[in-house]
Structure 1
Amino acid sequence: MRERHRFWQRALRLLSLEIPREALSAFLDGEHSLHQEMWLRSLRKEKQQIDITIPLAEVPFVIIDMETTGFSPQQGDEILAMAAAKTLNGIVKERYFTLVCPEKAIPPHISALTGIQAKDVLHAPRLREALRSFLSFIHGGVMIGYHIGHDLSFLRHFLWKYYRTKWAAHFFDMQPMVEMILRCSCPTFDEALQYYEILCQKRHTADGDVEAMAKLWKVLLEELKQRNIETLRDLYAALSMR
């Protein structure tokens, strides 16, 4: 009787987090269910509004990048690697990187591009596990990346697939920022790196690309400051006028 009471207590708490009823069983079973509940509660807090009057120099921006097997998680493409860097005023404070063991074989052309072979991910965590540590790392920051929409599509897809929850943290794409500053088209990350003479020693690796993006972000912050774009409000306004 007592166990049944505890079960329903937990079920009600999870429903308060807006977890669909059909997904409750995934969280009510297993030894990590309490940890998952706390983790989901922290994700819910990401939806809270942030003060857009905060100077950009004081905003914790988190640069993210993923290596994937394709462009569409809905069509079965998977995440192979995830990297992130916590920054403050353009300075990297902490880094994160993990390989991910996919469910299916890595396509040869993806191995050729990223350098990730089957033997490299043999002992890597599965995405369900890696996703928790990745999201815990980037929690509380404003995400930023070059063509970040690609990464966010995978993040949102698998967060819903595994945990039946949505996540709507604040984010910016570096690409329209670069075009706004340069006043010309700059569709690729490589073109932005070339313009600012930034060397990326490990291109098409998640950690290598994050390292290069961190260097680019430091330059962009200075460029924004010179244009009197000093707060999140200023940045939102400037980008909305493109």
Structure 2
Amino acid sequence: MGKFTAVILDFETTGLSPGYGDRAIEIGAVLVRNNRIVDRFQSLMNPGKRVSGFIEEYTGITNEMLAKAPPAEQVMERFASFIAGHNLVAHNASFDRRFLDAELSRIGRRRTGDFACSMLAARRIYTNAPNHRLETLVSHLSLQTDGVFHRALADAEMTAQLWTAMIGELKETYRLRQVTFELMHSLGGVAKKAVPAYLERVAAGRTCACARGGRSLG
């Protein structure tokens, strides 16, 4: 995996679960290296079925737009190449992971990178936030935004800003020289009250959150 990289992604979909036949209709992703966005991927994708009026209103993606979009399988072939060799991040990652794995499975591909959740990490780092929805955190932290939500690339870019802000917060608060992907991933499994002590142990070198190689994000 890329030592200093991660792909931060977001799907827009026809519904809540591929297990109920829902499909991806848009993918947006950014490649982050050394806390900077260095590449982007965005495409609508025709799922071969119509979307509901609710989804059209919620995302702004219409059936007319999807009719002109490339087939989902074609988009996923390109996206599989984009994410190759990188760990992955999403806000509420369990949702995006299910759709990514389902869409890759349709073309006989599978991801190789680990998947971290920026929402789980944010719940442990920004305990005073009103809630941990992406748009709330963007406002709470005064992150740069063009005001667009529920479009894949815009959400991926805002998640990337949140991800790098959390890395900076951990470095400053706990005097960490580097914040690894494994450390960010591991926070989601640490009880909220135990996080400060856990990070103090990491800073002191008494806990290793990099058992799979310490892939640093910056």
**TM-score (norm. length: structure 1):** 0.70
The unaligned stretches of length 5 or more in structure 1 are 1-49, 52-57
* Alpha-carbon distance change, 79 to 181 in structure 1, aligned in 2, over 3 angstroms: same
Q: Distance in 2 between matches of 1:220 and 1:60?
A: 15
Contact 1:59 1:142 in 2 (8 A): no
In angstroms, what is the RMSD of aligned CA positions?
2.1
Q: Unpaired runs of 5+ in structure 2?
A: 192-218
Instruction: State how 1:55-204 maps to structure 2 within 5 Å.
Output: 59-163=4-108, 165-184=109-128, 186-198=131-143, 199-204=145-150
In structure 1, what is the equivalent of residue 204 of structure 2? none
Distance 1:100 1:233, change over 3 A: closer
Deviations for 1:11-45, whole angstroms, at most 9, x for unmatched residues?
xxxxxxxxxxxxxxxxxxxxxxxxxxxxxxxxxxx
2:152 and 2:182 mapped to 1: Cα distance?
A: 30
Asked if 1 retains the 8 angstrom alpha-carbon contact of 2:9 and 2:29, the reply is yes
Deviation (angstroms), 1:201:
2.1
Matched-pair identity in %: 24
Aligned residues: 186
Question: Which one-letter code corresponds to 2:89 in the other structure?
Answer: I
- CA distance in structure 2 between the aligned counterparts of 1:129 and 1:162, rounded to whole angstroms: 9
Q: What do residues 121-149 of structure 1 show as CA deviations (whole Å, max 9, x unaligned)?
A: 22211111111101111111111111121
> Using the alignment, how far apart are the partners of 1:95 and 1:196 within structure 2?
23
| Map of 1:215 onto structure 2 | 161
> Aligned pair in 2 of structure 1 residues 111, 176: CA closer, same or farther (>3 Å)?
same
C-alpha distance in 2 between matches for 1:233 and 1:94: 22
What amino acid maps onto 2:179 in structure 1? Answer: E
Distance 1:236 1:122 in 2: 38
Q: Indicate the residue corresponding to 1:240 in structure 2.
A: 189
Pick the structure with more helix per residue. 1
Under a length normalisation based on structure 2, what TM-score does the superposition of the two structures give?
Answer: 0.77
In the TM superposition, what are the counterparts of 1:40-55 in structure 2 within 5 Å?
A: none
